[in-house]
Chain A
Amino acid sequence: MKKERNEVYVVNQPQKALMSIVLIGKNEYPLSERIHNRLYELSCISDLFFIFHGEGNRGINEDKFCNLYSACGWMISRDSLPETFIRAGKYGNEIFKTPAGYLVVPDVYDLPDIAADIIQKINASGLVQPIFKERRLGTDEFYQIYNSPADIVSKLTRPTDGLDKKYSIWTSESNTIFLRPDTFGKFETLPAEYIKSFSWSDIRYFIASAVKKLLIGNTNSNVEDLDLGSL
């Protein structure tokens, strides 16, 4: 089967009101028993959707992988991870139409213990803001982005160098991020140049910076730490 990047391959039609978008960026197979079991727990409360990126799919049969983990579909990203991520959300919103919320797992290897009741309560609540703990990048991180030795050595910089990570002001250390369908719709309104500048293999830089840029606001709390009494 021919695999096209940034296209959606549906394995099972989704049936749940929650979709988990799980990103796999490393080529560390087989998954540890711990992650293997956590994916099973996550599949009990949500429809799993995998995004393979970077080195994360070498020698892997994505169809079999998704079937075995009872996932609804998968995508492969190679160029722009945020572009793939936004397309996954758009597909969920406009083709599947089932998710009332998305649980984003930025790195499958950091998948935490899933407190099913908390996530289901959040999904059923009227909360519209994204849920993640935000962090503004520090001075050293800014320096790593704006420092450009190529400008000193040679004027022959690539046209894309000026854009690379240019808008990465915020990120998050949360291992799961909760988003509503509407947030994906807002991500789509961002200029292509902005989206493509996030060359990180960690989607959290994009999500946190985009949420700030779009003035969406967020809970500034981890999913597992959220005060459920306020929902």
Chain B
Amino acid sequence: MKMIQRGRNNKYPEKIDTWQKSERDIPEWLTDIAKVEMVDLGSGRKKIRMNSLTSGGVEIIAADGQSILIRTQGESDYVCFGDNKLFSLTESQMGLLYKQSEDK
């Protein structure tokens, strides 16, 4: 999902792409940097390597297959990418910093 900043905070990118664990499709910006485990030849859908955490969050493994690319804490946390920065936000932080962009 594409999001745009509410108000202004230069510590965070103006526009970001996001992904949540509950979304079935993994966006290209994430499959480009994460360890891809499988590609569905029919749909072209990619599956990335990640470990589920007891907190409900996930650890996404980097393309090298070893290091952790990003870790989220809770079930509904967002993985965010913008201005070449990868970071995670809780649902509450997302509501304070970003709103849905009209850009497709």
CB of B41 closer than 8 Å to a CB of A: no
A10 at the interface (CB under 8 A from B): yes
Inter-subunit contact A9/B96 (CB<8 Å)? no
Report chain A residues within 8 Å CB of B96.
8, 87, 90-91, 94-95
Is B24 among interface residues, defined by CB-CB distance under 8 A?
no
Residue B8 is within 8 A (CB to CB) of chain A in the complex: yes
Tally of contact residues, B, Cβ under 8 A:
11
For window 1-48 of chain B, which residues contact chain A by CB distance below 8 Å? 6-11
Q: A10: nearest residue on chain B (CB-CB)?
A: B9
Cα A9 to Cα B12 in complex, Å, equals 12
Report whether over half of chain A's contact residues are helix, strand or loop; otherwise say mixed: mixed
Cα–Cα, bound, A95→B11 (Å):
10
Per the bound structure, the CA–CA distance linking A13 and B9 in Å amounts to 8
A8 to B10, CA, bound (A): 12
B100 at the interface (CB under 8 A from A): no
Chain B positions within 8 Å of A, measured between CB atoms, are 6-11, 90, 92-93, 96-97
> What are 12 of the A-B contact pairs (CB < 8 Å)?
A8-B8, A8-B9, A9-B7, A9-B8, A10-B7, A10-B8, A10-B9, A10-B10, A13-B11, A94-B92, A95-B9, A95-B97
Residues of A near any B CB (own CB < 8 A): 1, 4, 7-10, 13, 75, 87, 90-91, 94-95
